Amino acid sequence: MEKKNLLGMTTEELKNFVQELGEKPFRGKQLFKWVNRGITDFEEMTDFSKALRAKLSSAAYVGSLKTLNVQKDTKDGTRKFLFGLEDGNAIESVFMQYKYGNSLCVSSQVGCKMGCRFCATALDGFTRNLTAGEMLEQIYAAERETGKEINHIVVMGMGEPFDNYENLTKFLRLLHDPEGKNMSYRNMTVSTSGIIPAIEKFAIDFPQVNLAISLHRLDNAGRSAIMPVNDAYPVDDLLAAAGRYTEKTGRRITFEYTLIKGENDNNSDVEMMKDKLSGMLCHVNLIPLNKVDETGFDGSTRKRAEEIAARLT
Ligand code: SF4
């Protein structure tokens, strides 16, 4: 029998799994708690008999991420992890410390289909969706590596989360499960490049989860030039959908705006931002681009970012 990875399975799925092994369903519930406490070794599951632990380890395993590399910023404690997946692919997650707690930026896909011109992930195209378990394990692996509890997540790493809607939403539910990590939906943020039908569905399915939209440009032709998704979902339609989202959920939206030198940081861009976002229930998050040599784009200077922030404020 092929061994099953138990991380990413719901309580119901684990109940079925233990029944296949000839065990009572309540063992599945116990297993869910252990797995979602980040425990990977069956020997540490102390309320199981020795015989059951042996049975489980011959039929299953818990998680499979390997830490391939860690880059640490000694000033603010940020750590960028490169995790290896079972099939040999690799993904990144970023651990950040704030006054309100610890946050992890989670990847949702290996690569990405969206093709944003300034993005390093887009350069290698799309390989595959991550499973709910692979998203969840980024959190447990980062907790093990840092020794700190993660109490916020942003799904803003590699990939377009709404292009992997089913696995994304399973992951959010698993993370929220009171028998598991029990993370509040309010501590979760999902970021999209602007897939309007998914935004509308998400407002119904997860009205308490925070939404971030990557805007990056406000003029239609200019946004299409750096974000092909804008051809399918033009920026003014996207802003209208964002407005409906805030009305429906009562939640403030975050607009991500990556500052690219000479591309979207001109005074005319700032004026358009003021004009189009004025009156909306939103935050604007200005992020100077990290230079990626292959794309030819560079980030705005710190000074320019501060000028833009002041003009917007
Ligand atoms: Fe990169 Fe995100 Fe655009 Fe995908 S959606 S290409 S990950 S910026």
Kindly report, residue by residue over 226-265, the tens digit of the pLDDT: 999 999 999 999 999 999 999 999 999 999 999 999 999 9
Residue nearest to atom 7 of ligand 1 (CA): 159
Q: Over range 213-224, report the average pLDDT.
A: 96
> Residue 264 Cα, ligand 1 centroid: separation in angstroms?
17
Q: Give the chain's largest Cα–Cα span.
A: 70
- Residue 112: CB within 6 Å of ligand 1? yes
Tell me which residue of 4, 11, 1 sits closest to 173, measured CA to CA. Answer: 11
Q: Over range 15-32, report the average pLDDT.
A: 96
Tell me which residue of 143, 197, 130 sits closest to 169, measured CA to CA. Answer: 130
On the question of pLDDT at 293 being above 90, the answer is no
Which residue among 92, 106, 119 is best mutated to probe the pocket of ligand 1, counting the most ligand atoms within 8 A of its Cβ? Answer: 119
Angle ∠(112,155,103) on CA atoms, nearest 5: 140
Split at pLDDT 50, 70, 90, the class of 2 is: confident
Quote the CA–CA distance of 97 and 77 in Å, as a whole number.
7
Which residue among 93, 107, 112 is best mutated to probe the pocket of ligand 1, counting the most ligand atoms within 8 A of its Cβ? Answer: 112
Quote the CA–CA distance of 307 and 258 in Å, as a whole number.
15
On the question of pLDDT at 1 being above 80, the answer is no
pTM of the model: 0.95
Quote the CA–CA distance of 103 and 94 in Å, as a whole number.
8
User: Residue 304's pLDDT is what?
Assistant: 96
Split at pLDDT 50, 70, 90, the class of 74 is: confident
- Residue 91: CB within 6 Å of ligand 1? no
- Residue 116: CB within 6 Å of ligand 1? yes
